[in-house]
Amino acid sequence: MAQRKGLGDLEQQVMEFLWRNGPATGDAVRTAVSKDLTDSTIRTVLRRLEAKQFVKHEMDGRQFIYSSSREPRKVAAEAVRSALRNFCSGSLEELLTGMVDHRVVDSNELRRLAEKIETLEKARNAAKPNRRKS
């Protein structure tokens, strides 16, 4: 899978608008993000987002209707994967320890997450059909 480039500040604002509001015209995006942007600037940003495969468009008559092509949770997971690779030698433990050390997350929250993960794993395993060896 090709590595995608991250989002710039303006691109992030556009994505947040599309995630919150769903499909929109370029003009609606421009108005929501900043009325000071020109039409050509927002079109350039939307084209870049399409090239990075964050956005897709459909035609409604002569108008482009833009929508997110990726869920925010997936984008976040890819960003974390990139941070792991680039800053933590691929170690999730190193990332989480650093987040606790720098008070991004506290140990109680990590415990709650661990319990939630365990519950999800149990449910996933219970849903799997039993396979017997022949």
The pLDDT profile of the chain, 134 residues, written as one tens digit per residue, is 344 567 889 999 999 999 999 999 999 999 999 888 999 999 999 999 999 999 999 999 999 999 999 999 998 898 889 889 999 999 999 998 888 899 998 889 989 999 999 999 999 999 887 655 55
Whether residue 109 lies inside any domain: the answer is yes
In this predicted structure, what is the pLDDT of residue 131? 59
Give me the domain span that covers residue 34. Answer: 9-68
| Same structural domain, 84 and 58 | no
| Same structural domain, 33 and 48 | yes
Whether residue 4 lies inside any domain: the answer is no
d(CA 14, CA 23): 11
In this predicted structure, what is the pLDDT of residue 127? 87
Whether residue 16 lies inside any domain: the answer is yes
In this predicted structure, what is the pLDDT of residue 2? 43
Contact 49, 14 (CB under 8 A): yes
In this predicted structure, what is the pLDDT of residue 133? 55
How many domains does the chain divide into? Answer: 2
Contact 7, 54 (CB under 8 A): yes
Whether residue 26 lies inside any domain: the answer is yes
| Same structural domain, 122 and 82 | yes
Domain boundary among 68, 102, 119: 68
d(CA 107, CA 76): 21
Residue with tokens 């170690």: 91
Contact 29, 17 (CB under 8 A): yes
| Same structural domain, 63 and 77 | no
d(CA 14, CA 52): 13
In this predicted structure, what is the pLDDT of residue 20? 96
Whether residue 133 lies inside any domain: the answer is no
Domain boundary among 35, 50, 68: 68
**CATH, residue 56:** 1.10.10.10
Residue with tokens 């710039």: 8
